[in-house]
Amino acid sequence: MTEKKNIAIMGAGLVGSLLSLYLAKRGHKVDLYERRPDLRKNVIDGGRSINLALSDRGWRALKGIGIEEEVRKVSIPMYGRMMHDEQGKLTYQPYGKEGQAIYSVSRGGLNMALMNLSEPNNDITYHFSRQATDVNLRTNEVQLRNTETGSTETIQPDLLFGADGAFSVVRGAMQRTERFDYQQSYLEYGYKELTIPAAAGGGWAIEKNALHIWPRGNYMMIALPNLDGSFTCTLFFPYEGERSFAAIQNEQDLLGFFREVFPDALPLMPELVQDYFEHPVGSLVTVKCFPWSYEDKSLLIGDASHAVVPFYGQGMNAGFEDITVLDQMLDSFDGENWGQLFEAFERRRKPNADAIADLAVLNFIEMRDKVADPRFLLRKKIEGKISEQYPDKWIPLYSMVTFTDLPYSYALETGRQQDKIMKKVMKHIKSIEDYDKPEVQKLLEKQLVTKEKLKKYDKSAGLE
């Protein structure tokens, strides 16, 4: 049995809260420190939360502590993308096979569910309005400031987990150590949260079980359904340029722009002007760093070690998968050398974190631009056919990422190979019927990734 440790987790976001349950389950005493007040008692400042899309990796981690079913009840399945063109005409692209979906959940709601689940556990204690201001990695001392009273205190846990998000203070301390790699990049786009309220008679004003996209080339708006009948919309828009946040200065600019490019959405958005001018513009950052740990004392997890842009809907899922992997590794851990465990963990997760970061940026181009192209949609249909015909040899990239636990790095690499094959295949395709043409079938037989090859991925990079 592993020695019982006093563990401190910085940040009680989704990853910190879930991690606390997994660690307490193993008999450790866990204290969480969160700079925000208790979100169950306070309304958190609105206007800056992109809706979450839970998919298989996230569900697996929730299942591990037995709350999958509870969360499923408050989530809305989205079976595909619904594209709205400039005339309001709709096209649809399913995400996967029949019945496969990603699930819209509210960040606050899920965070609260995790907190409520932890609270009765005597080994888990939440400390709200406590901001970590400095960390001494060598002694594992953390300075905390009470954001309500201004008082300060110092804690010294046995183990420290940095689950304090993209701008992690724990990581900040690691950045000041020798040979710490750190890279941060911002997109030239920001986002603004807007709303489509529930329809007048109740219910959803547009298709409930889809993720809506208004793809417009170099920018887009999306909408994800909420339980109360509303949709949370997010406008992803350049900071500068002819069509940009900078170009919209007043109500007239805003309404003129929406009338022209989102004509079917405008009548559904009575609060548009207020939302737009009141809500801040959020920035879109990718953070890559290495290592993620310091000796046998501290480990970064979730966004603190790998913040990604939201376009694949995988940020939370990747953070939750960190926990699944760590938990698996704890199964065979002798309880002795935490430093070794942390190193093995970061080595295993880093290639996957890098891969999902890159995939997320690529998915922005797909969502804002490619999905408006009929050739792209045809290609997706053809891929669906290939996968139906050769289920062991071809899982589409989106499905590998979203509906399997194959390592993200494997998905990225295989996706690149598939892309090459699809370019050749599409030369012979004008309509879906062409799939059965002998030249297409012959090409596929020759080109297809073999069953063996599909299986041959580096297991050390991901789940076993």
Ligand X SMILES: Nc1ccccc1C(=O)C[C@H](N)C(=O)O
Nearer to ligand NDP, 311 or 410 (CB): 311
Nearer to ligand NDP, 130 or 380 (CB): 130
Q: Rule CB under 6 A: is residue 101 a binding residue for ligand X?
A: no
Decide: 318 and 306 in contact? Cβ < 8 Å: yes
Please classify residue 222 by burial: count the beta carbons closer than 10 Å to its beta carbon, then call 0-12 exposed, 13-18 middle and 19+ buried: buried
Q: Rule CB under 6 A: is residue 316 a binding residue for ligand NDP?
A: yes
Q: Rule CB under 6 A: is residue 33 a binding residue for ligand NDP?
A: yes
What is the number of the residue whose Cβ is closest to ligand NDP?
A: 13
The binder of 33, among ligand X, ligand NDP, none, by C-beta within 5 to 8 A per type, is ligand NDP
Q: Rule CB under 6 A: is residue 286 a binding residue for ligand X?
A: no
CA distances to 34, 223, 262 from 268, in Å: 37, 12, 10
Of 93-152, binders to ligand NDP (CB under 6 A) are: 107, 131-132
Q: Rule CB under 6 A: is residue 53 a binding residue for ligand X?
A: yes
Report H helices in 369-396: 374-389
Q: Which two tokens stand for residue 341?
A: 């465990």
Query: Which of 294, 420, 290 minimizes the C-alpha distance to 357?
Result: 290
| Residue from 16, 58, 96, 157 binding ligand NDP (CB under 6 A) | 16
Length of the chain: 464
Nearer to ligand NDP, 302 or 462 (CB): 302
Q: Rule CB under 6 A: is residue 462 a binding residue for ligand X?
A: no
Q: Rule CB under 6 A: is residue 225 a binding residue for ligand NDP?
A: no
The C-alpha atoms of residue 271 and residue 400 are separated, in whole angstroms, by 38
Q: Rule CB under 6 A: is residue 297 a binding residue for ligand NDP?
A: no
Tally Cβ neighbours within 10 Å of residue 268. Answer: 17
Of 147-176, binders to ligand NDP (CB under 6 A) are: 163-165, 169
Decide: 129 and 37 in contact? Cβ < 8 Å: yes
Backbone angles phi, psi at 58, to 5 degrees: -70, -45
The binder of 363, among ligand NDP, ligand X, none, by C-beta within 5 to 8 A per type, is ligand X
Q: What DSSP string describes 173-218?
A: HHHTSTT-EEEEEEEEEEEEEEEEPPPTTSS-SS-TTEEEEEE-SS
Minimum distance from CB of 310 to ligand NDP (Å)? 6
Please classify residue 236 by burial: count the beta carbons closer than 10 Å to its beta carbon, then call 0-12 exposed, 13-18 middle and 19+ buried: buried
Nearer to ligand X, 37 or 109 (CB): 109
Backbone angles phi, psi at 222, to 5 degrees: -130, 165
Tally Cβ neighbours within 10 Å of residue 385. Answer: 15
Nearer to ligand NDP, 284 or 400 (CB): 284
| Residue from 30, 50, 115, 411 binding ligand NDP (CB under 6 A) | 50
Minimum distance from CB of 394 to ligand X (Å)? 19
End-to-end CA distance of the chain: 23
Minimum distance from CB of 391 to ligand NDP (Å)? 30
The C-alpha atoms of residue 354 and residue 183 are separated, in whole angstroms, by 11
Nearer to ligand NDP, 10 or 372 (CB): 10
| Residue from 319, 384, 415, 462 binding ligand NDP (CB under 6 A) | 319
- Sequence-ordered list of residues with C-beta below 8 angstroms from that of 87, at least 6 positions apart, any chain: 263
Q: Which of the stretches 49-57, 58-66, 276-284, 379-387 binds ligand X when contact is defined by CB under 6 A?
A: 49-57
The binder of 222, among ligand NDP, ligand X, none, by C-beta within 5 to 8 A per type, is ligand X
The binder of 397, among ligand X, ligand NDP, none, by C-beta within 5 to 8 A per type, is none
List of residues contacting ligand X (CB under 6 A): 50-51, 53, 81, 102, 211, 222, 310-313, 363, 367
